[in-house]
Amino acid sequence: MEARVSIIGLGVKDLRSANKFYEECFGWEKLPSSNDNISFFQLNGCLLSLYPVDKLAEDAGISAQGSGFKGFSLAFNTRSKAEVDDIIEDLNSKGVEIVKWPEEVFWGGYSSYIADMDGHLWEIAYNPFMKIDANGNVSTDV
């Protein structure tokens, strides 16, 4: 199996509200292949899909019931600490829930966490041990 991710699928309670969050708060553009049942956003090298949580659970053959910490987070790495601050300031002005304000972290970076409409955690972080190429791809080869 190749080491890659093709699609990150997030189960959402309200597809319309989730679309609005990613389009208006993050400024991402929904792909034309999106429809009333599922949405796609092009990321660098993979897609983000938004799909109703009950339908996603049904597709996987599991219960949609559950709450609390989901056991994972998504990350958006920046090229500087100042970029973390700028992004968090912008998201805060749009009413996005800031779970953890930017701060120096134990591993040597600078990070913050926000939550989308369904509580999916996004880390917004500067990692001095990673480089980001012109396409937004990260590498630990610095």
Is residue 60 over pLDDT 80?
A: no
Place of tokens 């790495």: 77
Residue (of 61, 52, 57) closest to 19 by Cα position: 52
The CATH number of residue 99's host domain is 3.10.180.10
Given a cut of 60, whether residue 136 has pLDDT beyond it is yes
- Clarify whether residues 82 and 33 are in a common domain: no
Rounded Cα–Cα distance for residues 123 and 113 (Å) = 4
Provide the domain limits for residue 23.
7-56
Residues 17 and 46 in one domain: yes
Question: Would you state the pLDDT for residue 58?
Answer: 85
Q: CB within 8 A of 48, min separation 6: which ones? A: 7, 8, 9, 10, 22, 28, 40, 41
Domain count, the chain: 2
Place of tokens 């599922």: 38
pLDDT digit string, tens, across residues 67-115: 777 778 999 999 999 999 999 999 999 999 999 999 999 989 999 999 9
Per-residue pLDDT for 30 more than 90? yes
**79 with 47, same domain?**
no
27 found inside a domain: yes
Domain annotation covers residue 66: no
- How is residue 11 written in tokens? 């189960």
pTM of the model: 0.85
